[in-house]
Amino acid sequence: MNPIQSFKPLALAAALCAAAIGAGCAGGDPVANRTEGKTPAIIGIPSDSVEKFGGQAGIDVWVDDLFYYILADNRINTIFTTHGHVQRQMALNKELENMVMGGPAHYSGASMSAAHAELGLTLTQFNAVVEDAYLACDAARTPYHVCNQLIAALAPFERVIVSR
């Protein structure tokens, strides 16, 4: 069994826990009311997550790796190349990932619900991004327990990203 398959149950548990915890976020969108300044990490995410991830530099490497896998993934790559500028999406993801883990907040993009409203994304497509996120963790040599913290911080977005 490869390492990704052995961690899927753990990832699913982390995502479900984060989704339950994230239910109290503003309008179901944890980013909705944040614009600047240091923010608390999503409830249940350790305050040192950004540091364990390697700081902003580590997040940047991970997002670069994530988009490498997304763009190579025939299940979802056309969504990313058709509906926006990939370099901008990468820059916004670097801001978002840093913020949801409790780093300095400067997220300049639309809310997750607004950004994904007209895409008609399925749970299968959302899960494909999650799979690519774990591949990016492996490529960036991010320990799985640290990667799970990021995935758990992003899991509540599933409610506003998946629309069909």
For residue 139, what pLDDT is reported? Answer: 95
Task: Please name every residue paired with 121 in a beta bridge, in sequence order, or none if there are none.
Answer: 162
Give me the pLDDT at residue 162, please: 95
pLDDT of residue 2: 46
Would the pTM of this model clear 0.85, i.e. be above it? Answer: no
152 pLDDT tier (thresholds 50, 70, 90):
confident
pLDDT band per the 50, 70, 90 thresholds, residue 42:
low
End-to-end CA distance of the chain: 32
Domain residue ranges in the chain: 35-161
User: Higher confidence at residue 43 or residue 41?
Assistant: 43
Question: What is the rounded CA–CA span in Å between residue 34 and residue 140?
Answer: 28
Determine whether domain 35-161 maps to CATH 2.60.120.380.
Answer: no
- Flag whether pLDDT at 64 surpasses 50: yes
Lowest mean pLDDT among 14-28, 35-49, 108-122: 14-28
* Three-state SS at 122: coil
pLDDT in tens, 102-129: 888 788 999 888 999 999 999 999 999 9
Q: So what's the pLDDT on residue 47?
A: 81
Residue type, 115: A
Least confident of 13-27, 45-59, 65-79: 13-27
Q: Look at phi and psi of residue 124 and say left if phi exceeds 0, alpha if psi is from -120 to 50, else beta.
A: alpha
Amino acid 159 reads R
Residue 82 pLDDT exceeds 80 = yes
